[in-house]
Copies of this chain bind each other. A is one copy, B any other.
Amino acid sequence: MKPKGEKPAKEAAKAEAKPEEAKRVTFGIDKNADFNEWYNSIVRKAELCDLRYNVKGFVVFQYWSVAAMKQMYNILEAILERKRHKPYWFPALIPEKNFNLEKEHVAGFAPEVFWVTEHGAGEKLEEKLALRPTSETAIYQMFSIWLRSYKDLPFKTYNRCQVWRYESKATRPFLRSREFHWIECHDAFANEEDARQQVREDMQITKEFLLDELGLPFIFFERPQWDKFAGAVNTYAADQFLPNGRLLQQPSTHYLGTNFSKPFNVKYLDANGKEQYCHLTCYGPAISRIFAGIVIAHGDSKGLRFPFNIAPLQAIIVPILFGKNDEAVLKYAESVRESLAGKFRVDIDLGEGKPGEKFYFWEMKGVPCHIEVGPKEAEEKTLTVVWRDNGKKEKVKLGEINRFLEEGGKALSQRLKVQALESFKGMIGEAKSLEEAKNLIEGGKVVKVNFCAIDKSGEKCAEAIEKGFGAKVRGKRMDIEEKPAGNCIVCGAKAETVVYIGREY
């Protein structure tokens, strides 16, 4: 392990009198005061990804983020498999003709497709191939081959993969780029009821993954009819709230009805031997964007703070050397690392620099705790553990360190979750008029309002809000039922629903 500061800082440091002191810099940006600066800086300083790759909108995901995203994939895949999804790997290339089968879908996605048209020394392919922006049109033709009888249903798949979209909006690392890493689930059912039950299960999966495992709060909304996934009957999406008051869409799940099963001929024989179309659902958690969500929800002015279960390193051992008994300390530190290595992700920082600098560095990197090992600890066979989030320092006997870290790690994750939930709740406001809503949104809130309807009839009122102060109607909350009491804040008609409005990331 060779922790490296940022290059320019390193080079600047070389010129100074005491290079080892200046080498590892602290972070020190207030997330809430200047969110954009905070986010861009932490992505660069913690070496999460590198924007200098020479294809526009593409980045290189570096070790420190990939190590965490690997753990995230493991956790999510385990949840999906518990819910009886099976893993499949579908091809990355989709023939143009498949893509054109579902009209709304192609209209929605065609502008974003990268096309493979040639091979070798410029020879044309017989047919243009889409680099998958999403896999409905690759997968459902296989469903039509595989599914025959009601006994084959439900049929639930997941595909861990990358997708590519020629984004016209400004890209931003992890949040929006032309290549991203996700899982897409595609499921087939005998009827609408079973399919809609899956959509509810997808929301439950999202809760287990984002909130329970990662401490990331969100609200699941039924999106208005004018803001659906291209080709869906209904779209449900989780929104995270950013410190700047913007809403970031996290996983979404879609009830597709028979919109795709008809053009792709996904049918089965029911118990009476009658042919029926399958009802399909799809669900797409984007790992790279959820990673951004975690960075944003849990980070503080010292840098990153990882939940224990996905931290690239869960503990970093820092030897405290005084120039005597150093060998004994280093030997003890190494034996501690070895004894922890089977159970935790752990390393020793043997790099240059004073212990204090190392502490700052690993705090910035978000490691849940550092373990100080000095002559006293070596002699007593103890360890001094300091937690990243609250700075609490605890002395632990070597024989108790495994259980201590396990329990302490869970407690840290729980504290991060509680703090994130608090900020989250503090961001919701409520307004009875357009003026009030506008003020709240300009003050960085997400605002709950009475609204006429989220079917097509409400679209004009939504447009008025967007034109008025750039906020979007995110939809009706799915986790709790909220009954409207009053009139739509735009048109004044009797409100059919309660919606949340806010500015989109």
Do A93 and B63 touch (CB < 8 A)?
no
Q: Mark A69-110, 1 if CB is under 8 A from B, else 0.
A: 110000001000000001111111111001000000000001
| Count of A interface residues, CB-CB < 8 Å | 62
- A466 shortest CB reach to chain B, Å: 25
Do B60 and A87 touch (CB < 8 A)?
no
User: Does A322 make an interface contact (CB < 8 A)?
Assistant: no
Chain A positions 1-46 with a Cβ under 8 Å from a chain B Cβ: 2, 4, 7, 10-11
With A119-B114, A151-B2, A152-B4: A91-B53 Cβ-Cβ less than 8 Å: yes
Determine the distance from Cα of A115 to Cα of B115 in the docked complex, in whole angstroms: 8
Do B181 and A58 touch (CB < 8 A)?
no
- A8 shortest CB reach to chain B, Å: 11
Do A50 and B142 touch (CB < 8 A)?
yes
User: Does A61 make an interface contact (CB < 8 A)?
Assistant: yes
User: Does A175 make an interface contact (CB < 8 A)?
Assistant: no
Determine the distance from Cα of A330 to Cα of B381 in the docked complex, in whole angstroms: 52
Do A152 and B53 touch (CB < 8 A)?
no
Residue of B nearest to A129 (CB): B55
Residue of B nearest to A119 (CB): B166
Do A54 and B98 touch (CB < 8 A)?
yes
Do A53 and B142 touch (CB < 8 A)?
yes
Chain A positions 108-147 with a Cβ under 8 Å from a chain B Cβ: 110-122, 128-129, 131, 138, 141-142, 145-146
Q: List the B side residues contacting A58 at CB < 8 Å.
A: 91, 93
Do A179 and B66 touch (CB < 8 A)?
no
Residue of B nearest to A151 (CB): B2
Determine the distance from Cα of A105 to Cα of B454 in the docked complex, in whole angstroms: 56
User: Does A67 make an interface contact (CB < 8 A)?
Assistant: yes
User: Does A162 make an interface contact (CB < 8 A)?
Assistant: yes
User: Does A62 make an interface contact (CB < 8 A)?
Assistant: yes
User: Does A59 make an interface contact (CB < 8 A)?
Assistant: yes
User: Does A52 make an interface contact (CB < 8 A)?
Assistant: yes
Determine the distance from Cα of A50 to Cα of B11 in the docked complex, in whole angstroms: 54
Tell me how many chains of this kind the complex includes.
Answer: 2
Q: Which of A52, A111, A116 has the most CB of B within 10 A?
A: A116
Do A91 and B179 touch (CB < 8 A)?
yes
Q: List the B side residues contacting A138 at CB < 8 Å.
A: 53
Do A120 and B113 touch (CB < 8 A)?
yes
Do B95 and A54 touch (CB < 8 A)?
yes
Do B66 and A88 touch (CB < 8 A)?
yes
Determine the distance from Cα of A67 to Cα of B158 in the docked complex, in whole angstroms: 11
Do B120 and A112 touch (CB < 8 A)?
yes
Q: Mark A235-257, 1 if CB is under 8 A from B, else 0.
A: 00000000000000000000000
Q: List the B side residues contacting A152 at CB < 8 Å.
A: 2, 4
- A149 shortest CB reach to chain B, Å: 9
Do A87 and B63 touch (CB < 8 A)?
yes
User: Does A359 make an interface contact (CB < 8 A)?
Assistant: no
Do B116 and A120 touch (CB < 8 A)?
no
Do A87 and B66 touch (CB < 8 A)?
yes
Determine the distance from Cα of A10 to Cα of B54 in the docked complex, in whole angstroms: 52
Q: A181 touches which one: B66, B89, B142 (CB < 8 A)? A: B89
Q: List the B side residues contacting A129 at CB < 8 Å.
A: 55, 114
User: Does A148 make an interface contact (CB < 8 A)?
Assistant: yes
Q: Mark A152-173, 1 if CB is under 8 A from B, else 0.
A: 1000010000101010000000
Do A88 and B62 touch (CB < 8 A)?
yes
- A118 shortest CB reach to chain B, Å: 4
Do A116 and B119 touch (CB < 8 A)?
no
Determine the distance from Cα of A311 to Cα of B112 in the docked complex, in whole angstroms: 39
Residue of B nearest to A165 (CB): B119
Q: List the B side residues contacting A93 at CB < 8 Å.
A: 55, 58, 114, 164, 179
Determine the distance from Cα of A166 to Cα of B122 in the docked complex, in whole angstroms: 12
Q: Mark A415-458, 1 if CB is under 8 A from B, else 0.
A: 00000000000000000000000000000000000000000000
Do B55 and A91 touch (CB < 8 A)?
yes
Do A87 and B59 touch (CB < 8 A)?
no
- A39 shortest CB reach to chain B, Å: 20
With A61-B88, A66-B88: A55-B115 Cβ-Cβ less than 8 Å: no
* Interchain residue pairs with CB less than 8 A apart (8): A53-B91, A58-B93, A66-B86, A93-B114, A111-B121, A113-B120, A114-B129, A117-B117
Besides the known contacts A91-B179, A116-B117, 5 further A-B residue pairs in the complex with CB atoms under 8 A apart: A2-B152, A53-B138, A59-B91, A115-B118, A115-B119
| Ranked 8 nearest A-B pairs via Cβ | A61-B89, A63-B86, A115-B118, A119-B166, A58-B91, A66-B87, A111-B120, A117-B117
